[in-house]
Amino acid sequence: MDITASKVVRTMCPMNCRPTFCGVLVEVEGGRLKAVSGDKDNPDSQGFLCVRGRATNEIIGNPGRLLCPQIRDDRRTNTWRRASWDEALDFIARRMRKVGPEAVGLWAGHGGFTSGSTVTVQMMQRFANMYGCQNWHPAMICWGLGGFGVGLTGALEVNTKEDMAENSRMIVLSGANIGSQPNTARHIISAWRRGAKVITIDVRRTEAAAQSDEVMLIRPGSDAAGGEHRLCPDGCD
């Protein structure tokens, strides 16, 4: 097999922007990644690939990527030094023993999913259960709140986004701007054009607001105040 030959590999975007999983065409030449583009033959994404997906080729072979552990001996400075894996693990173990399981939290980071190494995430979860410490899902700083909003609005009760497009009579988007996701947005638009009522509740006019019958803008941080939302008549700054 000639590894120097140029070829195109059909795959999926690794960014895990649920419920969007875009089809990707990866061009490889000489055993090295050359370019990434959207797969027009993918029945779901239909060739779309956001700027983050198109930039994934900048991760592989990036000279600024860390390839070994780094330790900061003095937390009052921003000086880091290279360390071996054994030293890094011993360093972490000493700190964990010092504070105890109650003060330890594990966070796999988004890379644990985007790299495809879900086994690493599962091992961390298992360790957290055995050690008795907290285990934080990577989504907590990414799409977690949006996914929670989707669940609250009932979107997870339907079978598929196609089912939503064909059968929903009302769609409520509360803090869940799935109108920004191309694989989902067109199904919301289809339901809207069919006659389904779409209501958007958010702190700003999102992409979903443009396809909504009613938009309720609330003041950020007011949703827990006495159980009432403070509406912003002209939008919130």
E-strand stretches of the chain: 6-12, 23-29, 32-38, 70-71, 81-82, 105-107, 134-136, 170-174, 197-202, 214-217
Our measurement of the distance from residue 78's CA atom to the centroid of its chain's CA atoms, rounded to an integer in Å, reads 29
- Domain assignment present for residue 233? The answer is no
Residue 47 is part of a domain; what is its CATH number? 2.20.25.90
Report d(CA 108, CA 73) in Å as an integer: 23
Which residues, other chains included, contact 148 with Cβ-Cβ below 8 Å and sequence gap of 6+? none
- The verdict on residue 224 lying in a domain is no
Q: What is the CATH number of the domain that holds 186?
A: 3.40.228.10
Quick one: pLDDT at residue 30? 85
In a structure prediction context, what are the per-residue pLDDT tens digits for the chain, which is 237 residues long? 555 678 999 988 876 565 567 899 999 988 888 899 999 999 888 898 888 888 888 887 788 888 899 999 888 888 999 999 999 999 999 999 999 999 999 987 766 555 555 677 788 889 999 999 998 877 776 667 666 766 666 556 556 788 888 888 998 888 778 777 777 888 888 999 999 999 998 888 888 888 899 999 888 777 655 444 455 555 554
Q: What confidence score (pLDDT) does residue 204 get?
A: 87
Asked whether residue 171 is assigned to any structural domain, the reply reads yes
Q: For the chain, what is the domain count?
A: 4
In which domain, by residue range, is 210 found? 144-217
pLDDT at 20: 63
Contact indicator for 27, 8 with CB cutoff of 8 Å: yes
Identify the pLDDT of residue 86. 96
166, part of any domain: yes
